[in-house]
Structure formats: structure tokens, C-alpha cells
Amino acid sequence: MTDKAIMLAAPSSGSGKTLVTCGLLQVLKNRGLKTVSFKCGPDYIDPMFHKHVIGIESANIDIFFAGNIISRKLFVENSKDSDIAVVEGVMGYYDGLSASSFEASSYDVSRTIGIPTILIVNAKGQSISSLAVLKGFSEFRDDSNIKGVIFNNMSPHVYEAIKERAEELTGLKPLGYLPNVKELTFESRHLGLIKPDEIRNLSEKLNNLANIMEQTIDIQGMLKIAELYESPETNSIDIVKFTENPKIAVARDEAFCFYYKDNLNILKKMGAQIQEFSPVHDDKLPEGTEGLILGGGYPELYADKLFGNQSMTKSIRTALSNGMPCLAECGGFMYLHEEMEDLEGKTYKALGIIPGKAYKTDKLGRFGYIQMSAKEDSLFMKKGETIKGHEFHYFDSESCGEAFKATKPITGKSWECMNIKNNIMAGFPHLYYYSKPDIAERFLRQALDYRRQFTRKVKET
């Protein structure tokens, strides 16, 4: 396990957390340190940027999804054999499940796991006023765990003028600044930042950012703060293991790219063989596939290629019709419809598994964390069992489903969701398997049942 960890958080979204995090990851990589990374909360895209830098999957830390104990265990597990763990915060440092709650905030993660925090203060249009922001955040809670500050969008002469005052007024030693470098900003689209593979010369830009940070930020000071982390004592997580090693195909390409690292890891721990494939580019499902996972992503941007790939749609349609188990979320759920609109509103004939159309809307729908309760027994969940998830989508469906009741924490607002059709469970919510490991276990059992069914048919013929 690592003996160094650090969190980069901020007073609000848009302060430069992802930029500074990726720059630091690049610095550490260039220095030869074996680094792992994490993202607080349910975000998918920021971890893609982390992976682009360090070359390995970034994990999410989410107190709502996993609770305190499992979160600690997963952090230790995902940090093993590394020199340092870097955690990117979410939203504002104290912002949690609701407007009045700390729960599941970056602060909650920091205090639960014991990760020292460096606050990134966006100083655009400010000088000494930025110190009021820093002082307020560091003293807002006695256990804020804020140990240092980096000023983003600050000029060299302003930093030189206020750095001594910063320590005098806040008790925190400033760790440097990042000037406004326009060519290093990341653009956004309707689900957040655009993906790393869509940014031209990203690796070159990140190395330029790392070079700037080496000159303007006290990297050694950051590493000293990272040494304040003390790894919590934890036991391993008990997981059912299958010796038969069911083969699970996971859609992974430019259209389907939203996966929680820990969801795939729990399947691997249970014995699954994970094989990734591309619904956009491949002709058919991988040979010997016994279960299918269609994650979220941007099918609306690649609808022409997706539905023009008739051999793949036929392969998936045939497999599901023959009883292959399938978990489909958000974009994967949209892909399974009879019809699906693209981002321009053009309608395509889709796979025909889910009735009706998936269509574009003008606003974010059913956004946020949910706890889902099964309304009836199925192959995936028993009546009354619950699993946690998250919704974030600008598309909607004529068949959102009614197999589960989804309830928002704090407010209690609820609605029906998810389609369960024998071997298929599909809907807009992104599920977190560690909140109900039974769902992963039952999915793999169905995959093994499918194997036995397929083997029996082969023998009969």
C-alpha cells in the first residue's frame, strides 16, 4: 500500500482541479514515481484524463456509493504498490448530497480516509481577496484537513506580493501558482469535459503544463504534505469466487466508455474473464461471450457508425434473443431501443430490444444520486433489495422501465426506472456494484447458465 496520498480540491467547480491534477500526474510520471489516481464522486470523464497521463485506470471514491468502510478498503486496495496516490475532488470542497449536506463531499472523503488536502483557489480577478477564500475554507471546519494552497490563474507579480501575507493570515504555506495559460484549458460538452482523445496534442500540452508547474509550484512541498497520509488498517473485502471463469464482453470504444473501475474489478475478483470489444468497429461479439455489459457514453455522437454496423447489431441481437445476460446503462440502454435519435435529432433504427425510442431533450434529466429498490423478484434482484446508482443524461426514453423505484437521498423524490426482461437489465441509472455485490454475482451465474445452455444445444445438434 502507498504511504503517500494527497487530494486536490477547490472552492467550486471550474477552479482548475482537473487541469492541476493532470499537470501534477504528469510531473510525477516525469519524475519516475509510480502514481495511482482517484476521482471523488461518480464522474467518468475526469478519470479518463488521469488515465491518459499515467496509463492506468483511475478509480472513483464515493462515500454515498460505498460507505465509509468499503471506501477505505477500496482506496487501500487501489493504491497498493504505488509511490503516491493523487485524488481529484468534486464540485466545491464541502458540497455533498444536498445543498445543506457534507455527506459524500470531497471533505467527507478527506476526513474519512485521512487524505491531506491542497486547495486550488481560482484567483482570476483577485489578489489578497483570494486569501479570504482560503482562510474561510481552511477554518470552516476544525477537521478541514486543508494543508496547503495553489493559486490558479494568478500572475507571478501578484503571487510574489501576497505569498508572505498568505502564510501570515491563514497559517498555510502557499505552494505556488499557475498562470493563465489559454492553450491548456479543457473544453466541455453536455456530459462534462470532452474526452481526452478528442483534444489535439494533449500529451504535448500536458508536458508543457508539467514544465510550467515545475517552475511555479513547490512540488517537493506537495510531496511533504502527501507524507501526512496514514494508510488506514483494513481487511480484504469478501467476494464470491467462480472457478468456471465466465467470459464477459464489455463494450469499450468512443461510443461506450463510461465504466467504474471497481465495477469491472469486482467481476474480475469473482473470476470473470473480461474482454473488451467495439460495437462501432468490430464485426461481432468476441468468440465465446457468455455475458454482455453495455456501459454509458456517447452513442448519440456515433449513431451513424453504430447502426451502420449491421453485423455487430445482428450479433448482439441474436445473443440476447438466445438468452445471454446483459447489463446496459444509459448509453448502452439507448443503444438497445427500437429507435434512437442522435445529437441532431435524426432517428435511427436501433437494436429493437427495448420498445420505443430514446430521444434528445433540451435539459438534464433526473440528475444525481439514487437508491434503487426492486419492485419484484428477478434474475438480478429480489423484491425489496436495494442498489445505489447515479443518473446524468440529456436524453430520455419512451420506455424508462418500472422494475425499480429510484429515490433521491435527502429529498426523498422518487420515480420508476429500469427494464428487466428475463436475461436483460437496462436503464438510465449507472449502478455501483459494491453497493450490492449480489448483482454482480447473479449476473455471472446467469452467464454460466448461458454457457451450460449453449453447450447443451451444441451437443444436441
Extract the runs of DSSP E, i.e. beta strands, from 34-77. Answer: 35-40, 59-61
Q: Which residues are catalytic?
A: 330
CA dihedral 421, 329, 308, 362 (to 10 degrees): 110
CA dihedral 437, 438, 441, 446 (to 10 degrees): -140
Which DSSP state fits 194? P
Alpha helix positions (H), 98-245: 106-113, 129-140, 156-170, 202-216, 219-226
Alpha helix positions (H), 309-405: 310-321, 331-335
| CA–CA distance, 166 with 8 (Å, rounded to integer) | 18
| Cell of residue 448, nine digits | 454460466
Query: What are the CB-based long-range contacts (under 8 Å, 24+) for 361-364?
Result: 361/394, 361/395, 361/396, 362/394, 363/394, 364/392, 364/393, 364/394
Q: Collect all residues with Cβ–Cβ distance below 8 Å to 443 and sequence separation of at least 6.
A: 267, 291, 325, 327, 380
| DSSP class per residue in 70-86 | HHHHHHHHHHTT-SEEE
Tell me the sheet residues that pair with 414. Answer: 407
Evaluate whether 419 touches 425 at the Cβ level (below 8 Å): yes
